Every structure is written in C-alpha cells, then in structure tokens.
Amino acid sequence: MLQKILVVDDDDESREILAALLEEKYEIIHARDGREAIGILAIQMGTIEAVLLDLVMPNLDGFGFLKEIRKKKWKASFPIIVVSGNDDVENRELCKKSGIEYFITKPYTAKEAKKIIGEAIANNKAKG
C-alpha cells in the first residue's frame, strides 16, 4: 500500500504536476484550498505522510490552514512542505514562525522535489 501525500493547491496544473512526479511512490490526495484540506485530514488523520501546501489560495490560504492545524494540534502528525513560487524573505520568515522547515520553490526539478519530500517524511518518522 502506498503512503499518502495531500497536495493542497488551488491550481489544477500545479497539483497534477506534483501528482505525476510522485504517483509511483505515493498515493496523491488533492485539495483545492485549506478548508478542503482540513476536511480531508479530519477523515484521513493517521494515514497522511506529508502535506504539500501552496500559500496563496481562495477560501482558506496556506497560513490560515497552518493556524487551523495548530489549533487542532495536528502539526506533529505529518511534515508540511510549502510549495510556492513566492520565495521572498518575509514569506519564509512567516513560514518558519509557523513551524515550517521545508520549502520547494517553483520552478523546481523532479529530483529536488523528491529529495525534499523524502527528507521531510524520514525526519518526521525519526522524531517519532
């Protein structure tokens, strides 16, 4: 059985690109915004290995999603990897303050994305 990764991005093409990169190793679950992702996590908690999170989305953006999972104390259950084309210092600082350790900056290579995702999952498991 494949490990599950939740890809949270309002852009269909971005989700599909990540799914195509990762589908041989992971089962990909799609969410179009943070609100949909919260609903999926509520049902699938314990089965999600990692969340790939865009920051700019309608309804509930990436930072709103991070606040919600902090309230629910879900953060330690899985690593969150921000996938964004917005790599400015301010965004990175806000993410770090929210406990985000991993970033994939668009555009990225398949090798780079797989490496970061693999590291995030392995490090999260090691923390136990």
In the predicted structure, residue 1 carries a pLDDT above the cut 80:
no
Average pLDDT of span 71-83? 87
Residue predicted with more confidence, 77 or 26: 26
| Assigned token pair, 91 | 């965004």
In the predicted structure, residue 104 carries a pLDDT above the cut 80:
yes
> Which domains are assigned to the chain?
3-127 (3.40.50.2300)
pTM: 0.94
Strand partners, 4: 27, 48
SS3 of residue 26 by DSSP: strand
Give the C-alpha separation, 128 to 126, whole Å.
Answer: 5
What is the enclosing helix (H) or strand (E) of 91? Answer: helix 89-97
